[in-house]
């Protein structure tokens, strides 16, 4: 059985790995609460199922999402990156972070099937997994400039 602490460490380590290698941005855990609902935010989500099922959400402000997209595309933010490209970048970050989490927990929980990511405006994941659901929230700081939130809703299934 996974512990919340070990899974929280996997989320943070996976996010750091992806941001350092694919986005070229340093990610540190933040004590601040991350982006708020008052900010214009994007939420990249990806669901997964198997012996563990749930949803990973990555929420950040619009300026943070633009920096992520520009770094991934090797462009300057002032070059007119489209909203579609920004959304694709946030979705791809969710996909890569979930892939890194999957690699870290697969020996313990077996195979996990992962959906395609989606991106919406907003920030909140709502629990539809029932009473046995757990939630992990990791707040991060990108380049000491942008707040980002990683939310993992999950439950462990029998077998």
pLDDT digits (tens, 9 = 90+) for 25-57: 999 998 866 655 556 889 999 999 999 999 999
**Amino acid 133: pLDDT:** 85
Query: Which domains can be identified in the chain, with CATH numbers?
Result: 4-156 (3.40.1550.10)
Please give the structure tokens belonging to residue 45: 């989500």
**Amino acid 119: pLDDT:** 92
Q: What DSSP letter does each residue of 76-91 carry, written as one string?
A: -GGGT--HHHHHHHHH
Positions of the chain with pLDDT under 50: none
Q: What is the pTM of this model?
A: 0.89
**Amino acid 36: pLDDT:** 58
**Amino acid 125: pLDDT:** 63
């Amino acid at each position: 059985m996974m512990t919340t602490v070990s899974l929280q460490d996997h989320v943070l380590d996976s996010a750091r790995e992806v941001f350092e290698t694919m986005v070229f941005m340093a990610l540190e855990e933040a004590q601040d609460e991350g982006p708020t609902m008052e900010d214009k935010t994007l939420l990249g989500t990806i669901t997964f199922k198997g012996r563990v099922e749930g949803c990973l959400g990555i929420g950040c402000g619009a300026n943070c999402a633009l920096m992520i997209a520009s770094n991934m595309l090797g462009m300057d933010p002032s070059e007119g990156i489209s909203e579609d490209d920004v959304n694709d970048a946030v979705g791809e970050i969710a996909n890569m972070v979930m892939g890194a989490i999957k690699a870290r927990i697969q020996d313990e929980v077996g195979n996990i099937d992962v959906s395609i990511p989606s991106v919406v405006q907003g920030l909140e994941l709502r629990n539809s997994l029932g009473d046995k659901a757990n939630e992990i929230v990791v707040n991060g700081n990108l380049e000491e400039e942008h707040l980002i939130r990683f939310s993992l809703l999950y439950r462990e299934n029998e077998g």
